[in-house]
Amino acid sequence: MGIVVDRPELRDRVDVFEDREDAGHSLAFLLGRYRGSAAVLLAIPAGGVPVGAAAAEDLGLPLDVAVVSKITPPQNSEIGYGAVAFDGTARVDVDLAGRLGLSERDRREGIERTADKVSRRVARLRGGAPAPDVAGKTAILVDDGIASGRTLLVAAEAVKKLSPVSVVIAAPTGHRRSVERLAREVDGVCCANVRGGASFAVADAYRRWTDVGDDEAEEILRRARARPTPDGGS
C-alpha cells in the first residue's frame, strides 16, 4: 500500500483554498521532495489543469495531461459510474450502473460515447499524441479533488502501462475513504485537505469554484509548456 501524505491542520475543513491555483500551490508543498527531479506532473483535464500548472511552476517540473473522462448516464452528467482513459482503458462500476437502471447495452454505449470524448480531448490537448512520456520517471497524477476516485483509478491504471518507476496521485482535497482506496493501488497519495463524513463535494474545499472548459485548459497548458524548466535529476 502506498503512503498517504496530507496536511493535518486542514483535515475535515471546508473553504480552505481560494481557487484551483491557490490549491496547486498548497499541493506543491506536499510534493516538495520531487522539486527539480525527473518527475512529470500529469493533470486530469479539465479541472486538474490549473491545479497542476501552479504545482508544476512551484516545483520546476514539466506539465502534461493524462486525458481521462468519467462515464455518465445520458440524463445526468454529474454522476460517474466509470471512466475511460487515453489508451482505451475503461472500467465500470457495475453495481452503481445497476442502481442507476442502466442495462449492459447502456453501459456499452456509455463507454463508446466517453471514448469518443476522450479521443477529441487527446487531439485538442495533446495534439493527437495519446501517451505522455513517463517511462523511467515518477508520474504524478493531479486532479482538483478526489470524490469517488474512479477517474483517477482508471488514469493510474493506464499510466502504469507506460513503464514509470512510480505512480503518485496528488489532489488538494479528497474523501478519506477514496484516498485510502487509491493508496492501495499506487505508490503514494498526496492530499492536502482530507475529509470524512457521509456527504462530500470537491467544491466545498474552494472559496471560489467555477467550471474549467477545454479552452481555458488548452491555454494554461500552452503557457506551461512554453515555460522553461530545469533539467530533472534521477
pLDDT digits (tens, 9 = 90+) for 160-185: 999 999 999 999 999 999 999 999 99
Q: Is the pLDDT of residue 104 over 80?
A: yes
Instruction: Write out the residue range of the structural domain in which residue 79 sits.
Output: 69-129
- Number of domains composing the chain: 2
- The domain that holds 141 is classified in CATH as 3.40.50.2020
User: Domain check: are 80 and 58 in the same one?
Assistant: no
Q: Could you tell me if 176 and 225 lie in one domain?
A: yes
Burial class (CB in 10 A: 0-12, 13-18, 19+), 197: exposed
The pLDDT-based confidence of 2 (bands split at 50, 70, 90) is confident
Say whether both 45 and 92 belong to one domain: no
pLDDT of residue 214: 92
Tell me: do 51 and 137 sit in the same domain.
yes
The reply to whether 80 and 166 lie within a common domain is no
Q: Which of 111, 129, 147 is a domain's end point?
A: 129
> What is the average pLDDT value for the chain, to the nearest integer?
93
Q: Could you tell me if 121 and 78 lie in one domain?
A: yes
Other residues' Cβ atoms within 10 Å of the Cβ of residue 28: 24
Last residue of a domain, one of 84, 105, 129: 129
Residues 161/182, Cβ–Cβ less than 8 Å: no
Could you give the CA distance from residue 31 to residue 11 in angstroms, rounded to a whole number? Answer: 18
